[in-house]
Amino acid sequence: MSKLDLTRRQFMGVFGATAAIAGLAACGGNTASDTTAEGDEGAADAALAGSISCSGATSFQPLVEKAADAFMEANGDVSIAISAGGSGQGLSQVAEGSVQIGRSDVFAEEKLEADQLENLVDNQVCIVGMGPIVNANVDVDDITTDQLKGIFLGQITDWSEVGGTAGAIQVIQREAGSGTRATFENAVLAGETAPDSFRPVAEVDSSGTVVEQVAATEGSISYVAFNYMENDGIKALSVDGIDPTQENVENGDFLIWAYEHMYTRSDEDEATAPVTKAFIEFMLSEDFAATVVEEGFIPMGDMKVQKDAEGNVTPVA
């Protein structure tokens, strides 16, 4: 029996118990026939049904897909469509109302205009650590933040400059609009931008493609979320001597991390709003927390530090 199967059954049990309690509370004092009729009506009202769409960041798309599978199994009349596109697309689509949930690695304030933020609700569902990866044949295991900065600004171009065997550094970048890219650049470049003359060997549209390109390209470097680091042909680097682990993110030692946001609208259509709300509550539930960790993410309650939209990091009160 898998942990995911257990999670689904636990959720169904909780859902069924809640519905039963609500039915009992509503029907006290009635006759047996009235109780049965009203109980049936209450159960029908409590049952979730409807279709919602969720687009955006690819960094935690696999996690959301697992949650959607479990949630739909527990709620047979619910359909959740998951698509990619990156944080920018997810935010734009939820802002315009074409999807019910927009996934993002960054705060909406970093991507949208002020008028687009109206009625958006920020649901932070977990934390993701991110870090540099290189082709498995690169003989460098640790890199400083300043060296990373130099590489992604085009100032450091050979592995011999950072302690490795001589050879050209091949930078593989995420596309503009990527939340993973924004998180990495905020932490590493600190507001600086690469000159127009700097040309990465590729700009790709998803974390999965980054892994494929780095594994296939000698001398390459890029960055991904922790959950993409365990793949053949690549290896993760420590930064400033700090390993990219969940524990090091939780205590604030590893600095490249972000909240995983699932933005919704406060004015969502009443036909879909209950499904959207219940799905996000399931993502945040204790029943799903074990899957969050298994997939390489950090539950919200485990963090000892917090970050605001301006990037300021402070201890959790």
pLDDT at 1: 37
Residues 145 and 120 in one domain: no
Q: What is the mean pLDDT of the chain?
A: 87
> At residue 235, does pLDDT exceed 60?
yes
Instruction: Identify the domain containing residue 239 by its residue range.
Output: 129-250
Which of 250, 285, 304 represents a domain boundary (last residue)?
Answer: 250
Q: What is the mean pLDDT of residues 98-114?
A: 95
19 confidence band (pLDDT: 50, 70, 90): very low
Residues 151 and 235 in one domain: yes
Residues 270 and 123 in one domain: yes
Residues 186 and 265 in one domain: no
High-pLDDT (> 70) share of the chain, %: 85
> At residue 27, does pLDDT exceed 50?
no
> At residue 24, does pLDDT exceed 60?
no
Residue 123, domain CATH: 3.40.190.10
Q: What is the mean pLDDT of residues 165-172?
A: 98
Residues 84 and 145 in one domain: no
CA 204/CA 220 separation, integer angstroms? 14
Residues 217 and 144 in one domain: yes
Instruction: Tell me which of 12-26, 90-104, 194-208 is least confident.
Output: 12-26
Residues 157 and 231 in one domain: yes
Tell me whether strands 101-104 and 50-56 are parallel, antiparallel or unpaired.
Answer: parallel
Residues 111 and 150 in one domain: no
Residues 237 and 293 in one domain: no
> At residue 258, does pLDDT exceed 90?
yes
Which of 198, 227, 250 represents a domain boundary (last residue)?
Answer: 250
- Count of domains observed in the chain: 2
For the stretch 277-292, pLDDT in tens is 999 999 999 999 999 9
pLDDT at 46: 63
CA 24/CA 36 separation, integer angstroms? 10
Residues 68 and 8 in one domain: yes
Residues 19 and 159 in one domain: no
Residues 109 and 150 in one domain: no
> At residue 78, does pLDDT exceed 90?
yes
For the stretch 124-147, pLDDT in tens is 999 999 999 999 999 999 999 999
pLDDT at 176: 87
Contacts of 138 (CB under 8 A, 6+ apart): 159, 164, 219, 220, 221, 235
Task: Output the pTM of the full model.
Answer: 0.78
The b/e string for 132-163 (b: 16+ C-beta within 10 A; e otherwise) is bbbbeebebeebebebbbbbbbeebeebeebe
Which of 199, 221, 250 represents a domain boundary (last residue)?
Answer: 250
